[in-house]
Structure 1
Amino acid sequence: MVGVGKLLKQAQKMQQKMEEAQALLSEEIIEVSGGGGAVSIKISGQGEFKGLQLDPDFLKEDPEFISEAVLQTIQDASEKAKKKSDDAMSGLTGGMQMPGLF
């Protein structure tokens, strides 16, 4: 049963490292812009949106164009945050996908 105890300790260490990595990701802010710089989004490394700025002149454009540009920027920001999280976690798990993470 010594192997089980060692495995349990390794799992606890991995969990602690993952919690530390998640804390760092929550503090890291990624800035993404779109619509030719008219849309700016801030998102944490864990995918929590922190800010949205729109250029006032941009709001004079066609509403459909504005919606598409904002949506695309949101999707880009979400994708970058997910990649940042995946990269951080894969470094800890050796590339194994852990269910329930981001």
Structure 2
Amino acid sequence: MIKGLGGIGDMAKMMKAAKEMQDKMTQVQEDLNRITVTGESGAGLVKATCTAKGELTALDIDPSIFVPTEKEVVEDLILAAIKEAQRAAEDRMQSEMARVTEGLGLPAGFKSPF
């Protein structure tokens, strides 16, 4: 604490810590847009790629599964791959956020508003 200023020194310290945290969170948000994860289904016949924020960026489908009578199977495989990629994205986002917020004394399972 700065002598003669009462709690103002502590307040300045808290404001600095809040600014650092905000900067870290901004960086994590930018990183989440660059990190990609992939979900697969049908033993790799269908692959979906998402950013760690859950935005679908690519879909790779092995042409061998395009059999007209198997349309519903193909649709199910596509949905399964996308869901797996989104689940992986959520896990990665939580991991990245936990890395930034560790040591802040936040309750377990805290969901960031970012």
Q: Normalization by structure 1: what TM-score?
A: 0.85
Following superposition, the deviation at residue 86 of structure 1 comes to 0.4
Question: Would you say 1:14 and 2:13 are equivalent positions?
Answer: no
For the residues of structure 2 that align with 1:46 and 1:89, how far apart are their CA atoms?
A: 11
In the alignment, the residues of structure 2 paired with residue 5 and residue 56 of structure 1 have an alpha-carbon distance, to the nearest angstrom, of 61
| TM-score normalised to structure 2 length | 0.77
The 2-side partners of 1:98 and 1:22 are apart by: 14
Deviation at 1:81, TM superposition (A): 0.6
Q: Which 4+ stretches in 1 moved above 3 angstroms? A: none
Cα distance, 1:99 vs. partner? Answer: 3.7
Aligned positions, number = 101
Give the AA of the match of 2:98: S
Aligned-partner SS, 1:50:
strand
* CA RMSD between the two structures: 1.8
One-letter identity of the residue aligned with 2:83: Q
Q: Does 1:100 align with 2:113?
A: yes
Q: Which of 1 and 2 has greater Rg?
A: 2
Aligned counterpart, 1:88: 96
Percentage of identical aligned residues: 25
Gaps of 5+ in 2: 1-7
Q: 1:87, CA displacement in angstroms? A: 0.5
Matches of residues 1-102 of structure 1 in structure 2 within 5 Å?
1-60=8-67, 62-94=70-102, 96=106, 97-101=110-114
Report the structure, 1 or 2, having the larger helix content. Answer: 1
